[in-house]
Every structure is written in C-alpha cells, then in structure tokens.
C-alpha cells in the first residue's frame, strides 16, 4: 500500500511517500508561513525522486488538526485538489495521533506506557491528548482538547509519562512547578517530537487498512478552538 502524507499543522511543512511502512521519499522544512510556497514543490520532488505516479497511490493522508489555522487549510486544500484530479481517497489524520505515533517506538524503548501529545495553543494553553501504548501501536485514552497548562496535572494518569510535541518542554516545566515529580516525566527527543509527514502517511495507511472511508467534500480542519482576533488593549 502506497500513501502520500501531507503535514502542515505547525511550522513543519512536509510531504512523504510511504509504501508498506517504508519511506520512499520525504521532503520537509520547519519554517513558519512557508507552506503555500513549498508544498507543491515538495509534492513534485517526492513523486519524481521515488518514480511513483499519482495514479499508483492508494490514499492521500493529511494532518487534519489541531494546529495552525492557515497551515491546516493549505494542507487539506491540496489533498482535496489531488482527490478531485485523481479520485484517490483522502484520509484525515488527527495531528496529535500522528505525534504520538511518531514517538511510540522511543517511548516503548524507554519502558513507558503513556504518551501526552501537546501543541502550543497560545495564551498559556495547549492542545493535548493522552495515548496508551498497546502491542499493536497506540490507542487514544482521551479525546483531543485544549486547556491551560496549569490545569493539566489533574488530568494525567499516575506513573511515568512521556511528553511529545512542540510544547513538551513548556508543559514539563509547568507540571513540575505545579507539583508533579520530575522523575515521572520523559521528554521525547527533538527528532521524534516534531510533526511528520511520514507519521501522517503511516497513520493513514492503518486507517485505510481498517476499512475507514471519508466524505472528502465534508472534510474540514479540526481547529478545536474557534478563530478570533484579539482586540488591542
């Protein structure tokens, strides 16, 4: 099964081709506001370097949120455009799920069973979701939500906890300040804590293998928080 993965939820802009879990090609850059400029070029690059034609794909997996409002719209628009041109199914992949998936192997090696995936939601808030490691991979233990970082301690499970995502360092600092024992916390390495088009593609392949189907026309980014403009003080 060959899938295209598109990641635009954060400052990371990435495109990857994955076949049966193996990476055929990947292009990525971490640069805010570069998604519209870079995404189509990355798409052409991974197809050309891998020798794969669009018609050979079984699916297009796209990070669906939460994350950057603009980035999510760009990624989903490109995925929908490819679907219109080719008829290839689009698989929406929750961003925090892809983050947890990307961290799972490192966390398992560390002997930890719970992952907290976090993304910056501004104003001392984060988008967060808990996942449990299971033999076949990961399983969501909570729904995705947004919360003030200082409110997270009351929502965490007992025992050791791995933290992944761009806000992991800030969250760990707040948790220890709020009384959580630092020895319980494991910070996933920088390489495995970033959003990844490869992880998006692999999660999409799992969903497709399980028979998941989606109405592409009805797909919308999962913002979690409503967009608003802050009034100048």
Q: What is the pLDDT of residue 232?
A: 39
CA distance 101 to 104: 5
**HSE value, Cβ hemisphere, 13 Å, CA-based, for 190:** 1
Please tell me the total count of domains within the chain.
Answer: 2
Domain assignment of residue 54, given as a range: 2-94+195-218
Q: What is the token pair recorded at 104?
A: 């799972």
**Same domain? 77 vs 153:** no
**Same domain? 21 vs 37:** yes
Three-class SS of residue 84? Answer: helix
Q: What is the token pair recorded at 91?
A: 């698989």
The residues, ordered by sequence, that sit 6+ positions from 18 with a Cβ below 8 Å of its Cβ are 2, 3, 5, 24, 198, 201, 202, 205
Q: What is the pLDDT of residue 36?
A: 92
pLDDT one digit per residue (tens) for the chain, 233 residues = 999 999 999 999 999 999 999 999 999 999 888 899 999 999 999 999 999 999 999 999 999 999 999 999 999 999 999 999 999 999 999 999 999 999 999 999 999 999 999 999 998 999 999 999 999 899 999 999 999 999 999 999 999 999 999 999 999 999 999 999 999 999 999 999 999 999 999 999 999 999 999 999 999 999 987 544 344 33
Alpha helices, H only, 114-224: 168-177, 190-193, 197-209
Tens digit of each residue's pLDDT (9 = 90 or more) over 77-107: 999 999 999 999 999 999 999 999 999 999 9
Q: What is the pLDDT of residue 226?
A: 59
CA distance 126 to 111: 26
**Same domain? 105 vs 90:** no
128 contacts 99 by C-beta, under 8 angstroms: no
The CATH number that applies at residue 144 is 3.30.420.40
- Strand pairing report for 2-7 and 137-140: unpaired
């Amino acid at each position: 099964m060959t899938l295209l993965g598109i990641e635009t939820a954060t400052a990371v802009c990435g495109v990857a081709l994955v076949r049966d879990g193996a990476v055929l090609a990947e292009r990525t850059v971490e640069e805010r506001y570069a998604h519209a400029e870079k995404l189509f070029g990355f798409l052409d690059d991974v197809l050309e370097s891998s020798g794969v034609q669009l018609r050979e794909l079984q699916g297009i997996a796209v990070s669906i949120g939460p994350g950057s409002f603009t980035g999510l719209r760009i990624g989903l628009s490109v995925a929908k455009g490819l679907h219109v041109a080719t008829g290839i199914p689009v698989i929406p992949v929750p961003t925090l799920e892809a983050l947890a998936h990307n961290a799972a192997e490192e966390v398992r090696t560390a002997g930890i069973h719970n992952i907290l995936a976090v993304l910056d939601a501004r104003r001392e808030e984060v988008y967060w979701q808990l996942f449990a490691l299971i033999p076949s991979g990961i399983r969501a233990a909570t729904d995705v939500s947004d919360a003030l970082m200082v409110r997270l301690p009351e929502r965490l499970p007992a025992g050791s906890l791995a933290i992944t995502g761009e806000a992991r360092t800030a969250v760990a600092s707040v948790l220890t300040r709020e009384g959580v024992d630092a020895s319980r916390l494991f910070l996933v390495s920088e390489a495995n804590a970033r959003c990844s088009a490869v992880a998006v593609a692999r999660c999409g392949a799992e969903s497709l293998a399980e028979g998941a189907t989606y109405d592409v026309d009805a797909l919308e980014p999962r913002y979690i928080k409503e967009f608003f403009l802050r009034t100048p003080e």
